[in-house]
Amino acid sequence: MTSGLVTSGLATRQAGAGRHPNPRIRRAAAVVGVGHSDWVGDWARTRAGEKPTDACGYGMQAFNAALKDSGIDRSIIDGLIVGPTTAYERMGELLGINPRWGDQSDAVMSVLQAVMAIESGFADVVALVYGNDQRSVGTQYGGPDAMGGNAFLSYVYHAPWGLTSQGALYALTLQAYKHAHGFTERDLGEVAVAQRGWSSLNPNAIMRERITVDDYMASRYVCEPLHLFDYCLINDGGVALIIAEADIARRISSKPVYIEAAGRSDLNHGATSLEPRLTDFYLPAQQAVAQQVFDMAGMGPKDMDVFQVYDSFSVHVPLALEGYGYCAVGDAGKFLRESGVGPGGKLPTNTGGGHLSETYMQGWAHQIECVRQLRGECGDRQVADCRNVHYSSDVAGKAVSIIYSR
């Protein structure tokens, strides 16, 4: 069994570590503006049966907020990346920008692609815009019509056998992980409790009532061993970021937040059979990416002030703690109990409340929290002297990480 950031040669090769990403992308670009829609207000409105706007409308609201936050004129934006829930061409029209380069991608890959486009000279200032009306339109993430029956996600391939639910998949992952490492449901409950602790301090969070581990254990199973509090929210909303080339960012912004390092490693072998998540728990890919980003940044886990983890389900957090070397493999339960990831804990994690309690923006809102922590704008939940934030996304067999710094 491996521990920390140590990998066997086989694991490294399986994770596709190979050459490290080009170090030229280090601090090549910076975030100069962030914004989002009214998650809390729209949660109340959609629960009341209203439909405030559509996916494009939420994206527009978020972009306008990010533009105001940046203080720049939209005319200097020459790149656009939109989330997979909206059309690139239409969003450009609605935002009133005419980019010379653009794409469509998920949250973490949007940041990487923006940096690569800037470093390659395809664009200088890139807007990243996401909007999703998933709650008001009743998007299904499981069942016979999961994601409209479209098989572009690996778990939908299993529709003929009935396993189309991401909850079922991560319930299997957790069950295997529990048996492998002696992890318990009470250990996992520490994640939900910690993130609700953070969200109670966040006025933009949808779920703000604190809970205890006993509350967690008393909550119903949705797919055993996952409890209700292990599942992400489903809500409407939008998020936007504006990323600029580093020299431009320094000229146009008084508070740029730099993309210090980035890395990616995929586990494609057996991915559509779900195997990497059930047997390796993402570990080889996470360890390969940890080496990439920490080497590029010249830092290690001890240098990170905040850890942000993509958390469609709470089980992502203990897997990431081990995979990125914040604790030894098999020690996540002990780390959660004794060191803690909530307010007052050793490693502040998902400080906005994450997908479980703040908002489910499919990784996009985590980027805003990274930026705001580094700017010192988080009020009661602000982590003191925050200088480095590590974001991790582990989805569908691929591990991606970004380190943001002041």
CATH number at residue 50: 3.40.47.10
CA atoms within 13 A on the CB side of 109: 16
pLDDT of 348 higher than 80: yes
Which two tokens mark 237?
A: 């909303």
Which two tokens mark 338?
A: 């004794």
31 bridge partner residues: 243, 257
The CB density around residue 264, as the number of other CB atoms within 10 Å, is 20
Residue-wise pLDDT for 216-229, tens only, equals 999 999 999 999 99
Domain containing 90 equals 29-138+235-252
Q: Is residue 55 part of a domain?
A: yes
Q: Is residue 371 part of a domain?
A: no
Q: Provide the greatest CA pair distance for the chain.
A: 56
Rounded mean pLDDT, 193-221: 98
pLDDT of 213 higher than 50: yes
pLDDT of 110 higher than 60: yes
Q: What was the pLDDT predicted at 157?
A: 63
Say if residues 284 and 11 touch (Cβ distance below 8 Å).
Answer: yes
pLDDT of 152 higher than 70: no
Rounded mean pLDDT, 283-300: 96
Q: How many structural domains does the chain have? A: 1
What backbone torsions phi and psi does residue 270 show, to the nearest 5 degrees?
75, 10
Among 15-19, 67-71, 219-223, 365-369, which stretch is predicted with the lowest mean pLDDT?
A: 15-19
Q: Is residue 13 part of a domain?
A: no
Q: What was the pLDDT predicted at 5?
A: 39
Among 206-220, 261-275, 341-355, which stretch is predicted with the lowest mean pLDDT?
A: 261-275
Q: What was the pLDDT predicted at 147?
A: 62
Q: Is residue 93 part of a domain?
A: yes
Contacts of 121 (CB under 8 A, 6+ apart): none
pLDDT of 69 higher than 80: yes
Q: Is residue 239 part of a domain?
A: yes
Q: Is residue 118 part of a domain?
A: yes
Rounded mean pLDDT, 50-65: 97
